[in-house]
Structures are given as structure tokens and as C-alpha cells.
Amino acid sequence: MNALSDNAIEILRENDRGTYTVPTKGLYPFQWNWDSCLTALGQRHFDEARAWTEIETLMAHQWPCGMVPHIVFHKPDDGYFPGPDVWATGRPVPTSGITQPAVAGFALRRLFDLAKDRTAAETRVRALLPKVAAWHRWFFATRDPAGEGLVAIVHPWESGRDNSIDWDEAFDRVPTEGVSPYTRRDTQHANPAHRPTKEQYDRYLWLVEHFRSLNWETSRLHDASPFRVVDPGFNGILLRACADLADLADHLGEVEIAAENRHFADRGLAALEGLWSDKDGQYLCKDRVTGTLVQSQSIGGLLAAFAAIPQDRAARIAQTIDSHATRFRVASHLPSDPRFDAKRYWRGPVWLVVNYMVADGLARAGQADAADAITASSLDLIRESGFAEYYDPNTGEPLGGGRFTWTAAMVLEFLSMER
Ligand code: GLC
């Protein structure tokens, strides 16, 4: 064991609340959806049973319609806003009413494939498989009502890339009038200059209040939202999860789940081609309200490589990443764009979770050098700057929350992939 992995394990243990792990103390005191699935991949390195539990706890709070919420508020905590009273989703254990990137299917397959305890893995994955399948079914039924093959997000928080430049234009359509007065908590834990702005927060809240007025009927939110964006990163994760779930289902003899998820993956991959921009060397978001591509070169369009995109696309994406020429890879937005902001959350900083998924996808598409460069850069960054939430891609300055769970989990994964 080297010191880096010891530190990572210590952080994962410190943020462990028994059956779920908080992203970091203070700033995020509950269970977050994609954080947990990626955290399990770190936990498997020192406690396989605990890793399964992390995902089981998340899936235990799935809604009857199939949606898996983005936050589970296991215990009251005033340190975070908006809390359960704002969401008011009426769930037995309070949750938010929107979702997050569907990494669970990928995480299940990885946990299963690499599990040392084969018997336990088979029992646990069998119980989780239909739940993740129901979530995927929910996605295509409610977020792709016209059957285009790709799903839309209805709130920027669903993307996991809260304040990305990708959302700016579509977000302008979201009103701010009538939002109930509120006090932010995030800016009390982290530097306000590195966080989303007040105007963005008003719009985040307007959408929450709007969906609440629809009684959180998830089948109504898509058409009722003034914000509907098809994010290549979000879809890339979902399509990868569908393909992985199909393979798992085949292995377990669950033929219907296998066929359904293979169909989602194949149809989605074909539709994803409609988001490719040759000029930009990456995929772009599509605004489903206006039907146009969004001219914003963010990490979302590189993260699509997590799915089985064509090899020539993956090669172009590797070149695009090289062209960023920042000291650390991968900036969450094109550095030469005047809107790039090296310190503000998802508008420029490096995030280890996306590095991990981009590297994994590129490696699978035959771009081993590009994948290795991301792995090496990620580990250099941690050695220099510790386990932060995100980092300035030019200086490596650690930003946001400290002793961050998913960063620690990804370090354990990167160390095991290092060649
Ligand atoms: C922020 C991130 C989101 C993450 C959450 C908890 O909201 O943007 O992706 O899930 O923090 O870490």
C-alpha cells in the first residue's frame, strides 16, 4: 500500500455513515446518487461487501415510478440548502425529486466483474439488476417521450455539472420571479467566487418550485419544463450503463432485461451521432426546446466517449483534449473560450470523476495513450494538491470541499489502472 491509497481509504472511511457515504463533511451531508455509485468502486478495493451496500442503500430509495433521486436525505441537517422541506416530495425517507447521471449500471457490472467473493456478488447483483433496469425504463419513458433515443435533463443539477456553460442559454428561459426567499448554505462552506451565482440559484429554485407544484409527477416534468437539454455526457453515461446492464443480464439469464437494454444502447448510440460537431472535435448539447445544438465545448461532449462511440470519434476527442494544453487534464470547459473560468465549479475546473470515465472510454476505444495521459495527470494532481472536490486546471489549486469522497474513490481506481 502506498501513502496515497492509505489516505484515500482513510477519507472513504471517515465519510462513511454506515450504509451510505457523504460526499464531504459540511457542504454535502446526505447521500448523492452518482457520487455513491462511483464511491462504491473505490470501496471495493478494501471492503467489497460495503461497496455493494452503498448501491443497495441508494436503490432502496428508488421511487415507485422507477426514478432514482439525486439526493437521499437520510437524516436532518441544516448545513445544506435546498433541504427536504423545499423539495417536499412526500417520500417516506425524504429525497429530492430529480435524478442524476445513471452510473449505477456501469458500477454494478464493474463490481461484479472484479468481485473476489463470486457467490455474494451474484446474489447482490441479481437483486439490484431489475431495479436499475426499471430506472433505465423510466428514463426513456419520461425523458424521451418522442422516442428519439436520447433523454433530456429538466434541471441542470440532474447533469451533475450544475453550472456548466452548456446550460446558460437554455437557463435564460427559466424565470426568477416568485421564488420564495431563501438562504444559501453552500457559500458558507466554500468560496462564493467559485460557486454558482445568485441568479443561477434563483433559477435552480424556480424549477424546483415549479416541479413541486406538479406534485412531482415525474411523467409531467419533461413537457412542463422550460429547461430541456440533451446532454451528450449524461446520455453517454446512460448508454454505457444500458450496454453494461445488458451484458450482466445476459450472464444472469435475464433475457428480457438484456434485450431491452441492448435496444436502448444501440438506438441511443445511433442518435448520439446527431450531436457530433466535426468543427469542434466533440459532441455538443442539444436544446430540445429550440431543437438546436448549443455552441459550448464542455466536458459533457468529451464524456460521451464513455459509451461505445465510433473509434474515429474517440480519436478526435483525444486530440481535442490534447489541444486544451492546460497543466492538468481534463478542463471541464474549452480553455480558449472567453467564458472559461478556471476556478468556478463546472465552468473550467478539473473533476476526477469525469477524468475517470473519459479515460475508461478512451481506453476501450483504443486510445490507450490518451487514457494513460489522463490517469497520470489525475494522480499528479492529487499528489500535488490533495483530495479536493475540484481543481484549477492551470495551477492545480484545490477548490471547493476538502477530503472529498469521490475524489478518493477515483484515486484508488486510477492507482489500479496505472501502467
Ligand atoms: C455538486 C456536483 C454534483 C455532485 C454533488 C455532490 O452538486 O455538481 O455533481 O453530485 O455536488 O458531490
Closest atom, ligand 1, to C-alpha of 345: 8
The residue whose CA has the least distance to atom 4 of ligand 1 is 160
* Beta-carbon contacts of residue 86 (< 8 Å; ≥ 6 apart): 182, 205, 208, 212
Q: What is the pLDDT of residues 135-180, one digit of tens each?
A: 999 999 999 999 999 999 999 999 999 999 999 999 999 999 999 9
What pLDDT was estimated at residue 239? 99
- What's the rounded mean pLDDT across residues 24-52? 97
What is the share, in percent, of the chain residues with pLDDT greater than 70? 100
What is the CA(160)–ligand 1 centre distance, in A?
6
Q: Is the pLDDT of residue 404 over 80?
A: yes
**Cα–Cα distance measured from residue 219 to residue 241, given in angstroms and rounded to the nearest whole number:** 22
What is the CA(283)–ligand 1 centre distance, in A?
22
For 160, 201, 248, 397, the CA distances from 167, given in Å and listed in that order, are 12, 13, 34, 25
What pLDDT was estimated at residue 2? 77
Edge-first strand listing for the sheet containing 286-287: 229-230, 286-287, 292-293
Lining ligand 1 with CB less than 6 A are: 23, 28, 32, 34-35, 160, 162
Closest atom, ligand 1, to C-alpha of 389: 12
The residue whose CA has the least distance to atom 12 of ligand 1 is 23
What is the CA(391)–ligand 1 centre distance, in A?
14
- What's the rounded mean pLDDT across residues 280-290? 98
- What's the rounded mean pLDDT across residues 276-290? 98
* Stretch (H or E) spanning 115: none
What pLDDT was estimated at residue 418? 82
What is the CA(399)–ligand 1 centre distance, in A?
13
Q: What is the pLDDT of residues 76-108, one digit of tens each?
A: 999 999 999 999 999 999 999 999 999 999 999
What pLDDT was estimated at residue 156? 98
Mean of pLDDT over the chain: 97
Give this prediction's pTM. 0.98
Q: Is the pLDDT of residue 366 over 90?
A: yes
Q: Is the Cα torsion angle 275, 164, 71, 177 positive or negative in sign?
A: negative
* Beta-carbon contacts of residue 210 (< 8 Å; ≥ 6 apart): 224, 225
Determine the angle formed by the axes of helices 118-143 and 232-252, rounding to 10 degrees: 130
From the list 351, 346, 302, the residue with the least C-alpha distance to 329 is 351
Closest atom, ligand 1, to C-alpha of 163: 8
- What's the rounded mean pLDDT across residues 7-17? 98
Closest atom, ligand 1, to C-alpha of 24: 12
Q: What is the pLDDT of residues 325-346, one digit of tens each?
A: 999 999 999 999 999 999 999 9
How many residues would you count in the chain?
419
- Please count the CA atoms within 13 angstroms of the CA of 259 that sit on its side-chain side: 4
What pLDDT was estimated at residue 241? 99
Grade residue 274 by pLDDT with cuts at 50, 70 and 90: very high
What pLDDT was estimated at residue 28? 95
**Active-site residue list:** 162, 389
What is the CA(33)–ligand 1 centre distance, in A?
9
What pLDDT was estimated at residue 282? 98
